[in-house]
Chains A and B, each alone.
Chain A
């Protein structure tokens, strides 16, 4: 078969012959092996281990004081678990940026049951969940997220301080 080889410069009688050979095969494969090893290395110590799921604690003075039927968050627990971060972002925007429209409106949060809350991480959330290390940090560490709330926001609310 006349295997004419064509490229943009014209038609050639034969394909150019290139010797098929791995150059520096030794170095390449050694390098690849080292790379894979390094890639896997951090995973080795945890191999076969199961990390226990976080055990968040609700044992805080304020929650303990509540009657059993009142022990619920501002929204259903499952919803809070999935959406608390978005809710806090909304609160933040409402309080800081749009809150001035009608003075207190931005600072009020009304849940579907019609109960009113002050939209405040420190003053509302942390009032009940005063155990940040056993409540917030447990899960955040487990899923390896580091929210930067605590650089500014204090973990102790005013209502809590007054109750002391």
Chain B
């Protein structure tokens, strides 16, 4: 069966007419339904939004070290300066590149670049600011991930599915906080003591802090919060009675690189 030019034009003209009047027809039959389907879903009510407050007024080197140790122990984070076998020692010049960090410290001028006043209290300038993934509301790492290995959960945690990570490191380029580390080599020989029950990572995947999603699922506080003895405050930002909410109401807090628009959810009391 063929179709000549005249026929084709007539059919397409009719189709265009139908298409143009389609929405009008919908409005007649089901008024308001088309718009309703197109609008974004409203933010769900009663949803948990995890957030952390770091009280730098209480923070010192020892506490920071304790938090880092607790975090890295329960997540099998390798320490490349301490290989199990001396044969696996990493040359010092690449130690910095290999470093895997979930929780780490920086001084104020590195943690909050561009926000340091010319003159500031010396005590604060030398404080070890405890840094971690900010679990942003608008995470650039999630946007750039080509496999959706990094994703934002409903409760605000920016989590990683290691099964999907292909190690492209776009997220590392996307994250403005340096919260992501790449496994340049098999981490197993550098994990001083395997923490049973939590997986290690493999060569070629990116990893970061997960706000201890696996502990939260068992109603436990994150490992660093437990080790910090009150220096870190963790909880549900959407719960008006939560300790985080209360702390944020009572103290003025700052966040890292807010001007970038990622809306980080780790707050610092200075």
User: Residues of B contacting A97 with CB < 8 Å?
Assistant: 151, 161
Asked if A156 contacts B194 (CB within 8 A), the reply is yes
Query: Does B33 lie at the interface of the complex (its beta carbon under 8 Å from any beta carbon of A)?
Result: no
Q: Which residue of B lies closest to A123 (CB)?
A: B197
Tell me which of B9-17, B19-27, B78-86, B152-160 binds A: B152-160
Which residues of B (162-198) have their CB < 8 Å from a CB of A? 162-163, 194, 196-198
User: Residues of A contacting B161 with CB < 8 Å?
Assistant: 96-97
User: Residues of B contacting A90 with CB < 8 Å?
Assistant: none
User: How far is it, in angstroms, between the C-alpha of A151 and the C-alpha of B185 when the chains are bound?
Assistant: 12
User: Residues of B contacting A157 with CB < 8 Å?
Assistant: 196-197
A148-159 near B? 1/0 per residue, CB < 8 Å: 000111101111
Query: Does A161 lie at the interface of the complex (its beta carbon under 8 Å from any beta carbon of B)?
Result: yes
User: How far is it, in angstroms, between the C-alpha of A100 and the C-alpha of B44 when the chains are bound?
Assistant: 14
Asked if A96 contacts B194 (CB within 8 A), the reply is no
Given that A92-B163, A97-B151, A101-B154 are contacting pairs, would A153 and B199 also be in contact in the complex, using a CB cutoff of 8 Å?
yes
Given that A96-B159, A122-B196 are contacting pairs, would A103 and B217 also be in contact in the complex, using a CB cutoff of 8 Å?
yes
Query: Does A104 lie at the interface of the complex (its beta carbon under 8 Å from any beta carbon of B)?
Result: yes
A97-108 near B? 1/0 per residue, CB < 8 Å: 101110110110
Query: Does A136 lie at the interface of the complex (its beta carbon under 8 Å from any beta carbon of B)?
Result: no
Q: Which residues in A have some Cβ–Cβ distance to B below 8 Å?
A: 92, 96-97, 99-101, 103-104, 106-107, 120, 122-123, 151-154, 156-161
Q: Which residues in B have some Cβ–Cβ distance to A below 8 Å?
A: 76, 151, 153-155, 157, 159, 161-163, 194, 196-202, 213, 216-219
Report, nearest first, the 10 A-B pairs whose CB atoms are least far apart.
Answer: A158-B197, A152-B199, A161-B196, A100-B153, A151-B202, A156-B196, A153-B199, A96-B161, A158-B196, A123-B197
A-B contact pairs, 11 of them (CB 8 A): A96-B159, A96-B161, A97-B161, A100-B154, A100-B157, A103-B216, A152-B199, A152-B202, A154-B199, A156-B196, A158-B196
Q: Besides A100-B153, A100-B157, A160-B196, 16 other CB < 8 A contacts?
A: A92-B163, A96-B161, A96-B163, A100-B154, A100-B155, A103-B216, A104-B218, A152-B202, A154-B76, A154-B197, A154-B198, A156-B196, A157-B196, A157-B197, A158-B197, A161-B196
